[in-house]
Amino acid sequence: MSRRGNIARWCVRLLMLALAFFFAWGGPWPGWMEHLFPALSPFAAFASAVAHRGWYRAVYWLLPPLALLTLAVFRGRFFCRWVCPAGTLYAVASTFSLKKQVLRWRISPFLFWFTLAGALLGAPLFLFTDPLAAFNRSVVTLSGLRATVAMIPGVIVPLFMLLSLVQPMLWCSRFCPLGYTFDLVKLTPRPVSRRFHNDRRQIVAGLAAGLPLALLASSIPIHPGRKRTWPILPPGALNADDYAERCSRCYACVNACPSRVLNVRFSTNRSWAQFCQPELTPDSGVCDEYCNRCSLVCHTGAIQPVSEDEKRYRKIGTAVINKDACLAWSDEQYCMVCDEYCPYNAIHTDTGPTGFPRPVVLPDQCRGCGMCQHNCPAIRAGKAIIVEGLAEQREIPANDLYDI
């Protein structure tokens, strides 16, 4: 490429990098911006469609990845060279590289088929390999997640930047399954049958490794000794297993959450399939009554879009009172803060023999928003009201406790 062309390309790349960074950092801008870049990836769209076993995305969100795929038919890895923000970061690091060819083997076909096989059986870990999600994740991690565990998946981009200092463009040339997708669809004089020929061993190995690993991941609990619990998931997630398998960990929802109740951590103990997924942690925030932002920014359909009204009737968890820790039940205080804050009138007041009002949760009315847990003033034995997650979210019918 000519020198002038090279300068033009770098300008476009840095601009795209800045845009991607800006959108991923989050802020008051509309939800579609926050997941614009991760939603571009045809690889992620494909892998999550496999996980859904069907199409899930609104048509207009289908168009950008489809356009990229069409572009790739004629121009191959055009996206990689002009747009991909992760690629740009690697390219910057690679200009200072020692230029050693340590890894000669290209394992991206393996990763591609490994991911698809995993998606088939409900292991989501491999959506991690999408570079756009990885980029988004790194930025969100940088912009301040409270959980250190989020550093683990967030570190992919920085790690490969470091590795690029040894071997230039290591990720792009050896690992990237998105780049492989573009190569796959590119028009070449080679016949289609030959296209898979060179990679046949990796395809077989990817499928062979992905299937059993997925099975293992979704059945082994993170802490084997402990009781298995369900996570509290953002409103719009269907059930815990589907969510784990469809989430690409791009953390656009974590960033979109205005109250910071959505967080990354091992809060619950189902299986390794839930590794670093976004979950609600009511100690860090509350799921506001009139908010549905997270459900609008998910591009893999792990969180289905719900309207603000639908969200208010969606049960995502159930609050449970620990009477031993409760100021009203155990310490004879006038508290009822949980009742005060509950937007859904799901706390019933029990007037005990001493006249102190004491809270009782109405589980069929409780949405699990965490308002009670977040504001519970008890400290002697920890929070006295804790929200527990559900295997499956459901709608609470309108009733005269809340619909007035």
- Which residues contribute to the site for other proteins (CB under 8 A)? 258-259, 286, 288-291, 327, 331, 333-337, 339-343, 345, 347, 349, 357, 375, 377-379, 400, 402, 404
Closest distance to other proteins from the beta carbon of 9 (Å): 41
Measured from the CB atom, the residue of 217 and 378 that comes closer to other proteins is 378
Distance CA 328, CA 217 (A): 43
Closest distance to other proteins from the beta carbon of 293 (Å): 11
CB burial readout 254-283, b (16+ within 10 A) else e: bbbbebebbbbbbbbbbbbbbbbbbbbbbb
Q: 262-264 and 278-280 as β-strands: parallel, antiparallel, unpaired?
A: antiparallel
Closest distance to other proteins from the beta carbon of 378 (Å): 7
Measured from the CB atom, the residue of 327 and 386 that comes closer to other proteins is 327
List, in order, residues 6 or more apart from 28 with CB less than 8 Å away: none
Closest distance to other proteins from the beta carbon of 273 (Å): 32
Measured from the CB atom, the residue of 60 and 290 that comes closer to other proteins is 290
Measured from the CB atom, the residue of 163 and 366 that comes closer to other proteins is 366
Closest distance to other proteins from the beta carbon of 325 (Å): 12
Could you give the angle at which helices 85-94 and 131-142 cross, rounded to 10 degrees? 80
Question: Residue 2 corresponds to which tokens in the numbers above?
Answer: 């000519």
Instruction: Give me the residue label for tokens 């300068």.
Output: 7
Distance CA 180, CA 131 (A): 12
List, in order, residues 6 or more apart from 270 with CB less than 8 Å away: 221, 222, 228, 229, 230, 231, 240, 241, 244
Measured from the CB atom, the residue of 40 and 291 that comes closer to other proteins is 291
Torsion of the alpha carbons at 36, 40, 45 and 47, rounded to the nearest 10: -110
List, in order, residues 6 or more apart from 169 with CB less than 8 Å away: 90, 91, 94
Question: Residue 309 corresponds to which tokens in the numbers above?
Answer: 């009204």
Q: Give the DSSP H or E segment for 391.
A: strand 385-395
CA distances from 154 to 46, 133, 136, 222, 304 (A): 22, 10, 9, 19, 24
List, in order, residues 6 or more apart from 291 with CB less than 8 Å away: 258, 259, 308, 311
Question: Residue 53 corresponds to which tokens in the numbers above?
Answer: 């076993």
Closest distance to other proteins from the beta carbon of 290 (Å): 6
Closest distance to other proteins from the beta carbon of 107 (Å): 46
Dihedral sign for Cα 232, 236, 239, 241, please: negative
Closest distance to other proteins from the beta carbon of 182 (Å): 41
Closest distance to other proteins from the beta carbon of 172 (Å): 40
Measured from the CB atom, the residue of 310 and 331 that comes closer to other proteins is 331
User: What number of residues does the chain have?
Assistant: 404
Measured from the CB atom, the residue of 143 and 345 that comes closer to other proteins is 345
Contact by Cβ (8 Å): 377, 327: yes
Closest distance to other proteins from the beta carbon of 258 (Å): 6
Measured from the CB atom, the residue of 350 and 392 that comes closer to other proteins is 350
Measured from the CB atom, the residue of 118 and 359 that comes closer to other proteins is 359
Measured from the CB atom, the residue of 340 and 392 that comes closer to other proteins is 340
